[in-house]
């Protein structure tokens, strides 16, 4: 419980620190719509790696082909959140991803894939569940 609370506070502090405008980034900015569990893969069955608090700014690498899950980074922690929990600011309006892909002339959402071996070794090799990677391969 203490570990999870510490991650939540760290993610919130980092999100607040990076909430200002960043020169040179794409026009769209992404935010967590609600408090959401950050997962180690594109499914609610994958282990949690933190909680992203509502309103936190996230860096989105892209979403799965069906735009169900998005690969994000928040406060130095990378993971996956459901696309329904991400809002995109576009032309000074926040909107769900599903709306954005219909109203934007050229939606800037990359399609990303998930390879558990590569993703976990790059992001989670120090976490408790990494040694059990074989048990998680069947989820994807």
Give per-residue pLDDT as tens, 52-93.
Answer: 999 999 999 999 999 999 999 999 999 999 999 999 999 899
Q: Is the pLDDT reported for residue 128 higher than 70?
A: yes
Number of folded domains that form the chain:
1
Round the average pLDDT of the chain to a whole number and report it.
84
Give the separation between CA 9 and CA 16, rounded to whole angstroms: 11
Residue 109 placed within a domain? yes
Instruction: Please report whether residue 89 resides in a domain.
Output: yes
| pLDDT for position 140 | 65
Q: Residue 105: its pLDDT value, please?
A: 77
**Structural domain contains residue 68:** yes
User: Would 138 be classed as within a structural domain?
Assistant: no
**CATH number of the domain to which 8 belongs:** 2.30.30.40
Question: From CA 56, how far away is CA 16, in angstroms rounded?
Answer: 7
For 56, residues 6+ apart whose C-beta sits below 8 A from its C-beta are 11, 12, 15, 16, 31, 32, 74, 75
Does 139 map to a domain?
no
User: In this structure, is residue 78 part of a structural domain?
Assistant: yes
pLDDT value, residue 116: 97
Domain residue limits at 57: 2-20+27-132
Q: Does residue 38 sit within a domain?
A: yes
Residue 140 lies in a domain: no
């Amino acid at each position: 419980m203490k570990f999870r609370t510490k991650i939540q506070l760290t993610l919130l502090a980092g999100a607040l620190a990076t909430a200002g405008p960043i020169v040179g980034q794409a026009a769209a900015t992404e935010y967590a719509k609600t408090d959401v569990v950050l997962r180690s893969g594109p499914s609610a069955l994958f282990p949690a790696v933190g909680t992203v608090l509502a309103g936190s700014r996230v860096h989105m690498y892209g979403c799965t082909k069906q735009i169900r899950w998005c690969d994000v980074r928040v406060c130095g922690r990378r993971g996956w959140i459901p696309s329904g929990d991400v809002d995109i600011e576009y032309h000074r309006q926040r909107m769900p991803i599903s709306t954005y892909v219909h109203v934007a002339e050229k939606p800037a959402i990359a399609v990303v894939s998930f390879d558990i071996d590569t993703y976990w070794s790059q992001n989670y090799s120090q976490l408790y569940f990494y040694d059990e990677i074989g048990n998680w391969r069947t989820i994807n």
